Amino acid sequence: MHQPLPPGLYIVATPIGNLGDMTSRAADVLCRVDRVLAEDKRVSAKLLAHVGATAPMTAYHDHSDEGLRQKLLAEMSVKAIALISDAGTPLISDPGYKLVRAAREAGLAVHTLPGPCAAIAALTLAGLPTDRFLFLGFLPAKAKARADAIAEVAAIRASLVLYESGPRLGESLDALATGLGTRDAAVIREISKLHEETVTGTLAELAERYRDAPPKGEIVIVIGPPPEREAASDAELDVALTKALESLSPSRAAADVAAALGIPKKRAYARALELGGRD
Ligand code: SAM
């Protein structure tokens, strides 16, 4: 007999392919909650059977009506309710944030049980910088919206992580190669499953590879940050500063020039003062 849990919302991460990746704490909590909220009850029924959980399931999406959310919140104040998604970490390109926000606003306890997440697992496989990354979820399906979304992040000095499906992979890689230029990337497929695969190359090389050969399975694209710009020379700095100082104070000129040349403002400001500028 499982001990009941204190009331509240339990966000439970589940495997993204290999059932062995279920944490023992996640299995324990799923066996002890009074209800499980799931995206697709048929998908989650298999997982619950695997861990021996018997709690009733309710389908939940963030677009579920407000009445259902209020009913769940009322139940959560006296019972333990788990939220799971079809696979991986709930709320990451999956439903849940509205429920978490509402539970917090109602003063209810919210717990998370960390576990598998395809974006994080892909970052560990890609061999690309992981110190700064931006998760973009799925790109828009329409060409113009997709190009706009790519342009918006092109200059960000971080690795990019995107979810994609096999049929759209070639098209998306083409759009990414056009919008981001030459950048190292990895296409990571079927993480933790039998056919797990990581293919690396530039965006253009990967676009070429997958253009007419859409792969099967679930996919994450990881793209390395834009290449470092060469440090501006003293001569370049002087030309830019001299021009900027014609109309701006040294600190304003230094800020503008530093941003334009991608150099520290301190260096630009020191040189602006040497060039005779006065604040
Ligand atoms: N919440 C999930 C998570 O934590 O990763 C993601 C849900 S999102 C609706 C599903 C997408 O995640 C898939 O289309 C695919 O891009 C990616 N994904 C999920 N499982 C994967 C796996 N085993 N290998 C590669 N990508 C996966």
CATH number at residue 181: 3.30.950.10
Q: Which of 84, 101, 116 finishes a domain?
A: 116
Residue 196 falls inside a structural domain: yes
| 240 within 8 A of 200, measured Cβ to Cβ | no
Q: Are residues 92 and 23 in the same domain?
A: yes
Is the C-beta atom of 39 inside 6 A of ligand 1?
Answer: no
Distances (CA, A) of 227 to 83, 131, 208, 223: 40, 15, 21, 11
Pairwise pLDDT comparison (130 vs 266), residue with the higher score: 130
Joined tokens for residue 54: 């018997």
In a domain, 2, yes or no: no
Q: How far, in Å, from the CA of 92 to the mean position of ligand 1? A: 9
pLDDT greater than 90 at residue 227: no
- The answer to whether residue 228 is domain-embedded is no
What number is the average pLDDT over the span 209-228? 95
The predicted structure's pLDDT at residue 1 = 66
Q: Is 190 in the pocket of ligand 1 (CB under 6 A)?
A: yes
Q: Tens of pLDDT along 22-44?
A: 999 999 999 999 999 999 999 99
Domain total in the chain: 3
Residue 94 near residue 14 (C-beta atoms within 8 A)? no
Tens of pLDDT along 43-53? Answer: 999 999 999 99
Q: What is the mean pLDDT of the chain?
A: 95
For 11-22, how does the pLDDT look when each residue is reduced to its tens digit (9 = 90+)? 999 999 999 999
Please give the pLDDT value at position 3. 85
pLDDT of 135 strictly over 90: yes
For the CA of 118, the closest atom of ligand 1 is 5
Q: Quick one: pLDDT band at residue 189, thresholds 50, 70, 90?
A: very high
Atom number of ligand 1 nearest to Cα 120: 5
How much of the chain, in percent, has pLDDT values that exceed 70?
99
How far apart are the CA of 128 and the centre of ligand 1, in A?
Answer: 19
What is the residue range of 259's domain? Answer: 234-274
pLDDT value of residue 182: 94
What integer pLDDT is reported at residue 29 of this predicted model?
A: 98
Q: CA-CA distance, 123 to 158, in Å (whole number)? A: 12
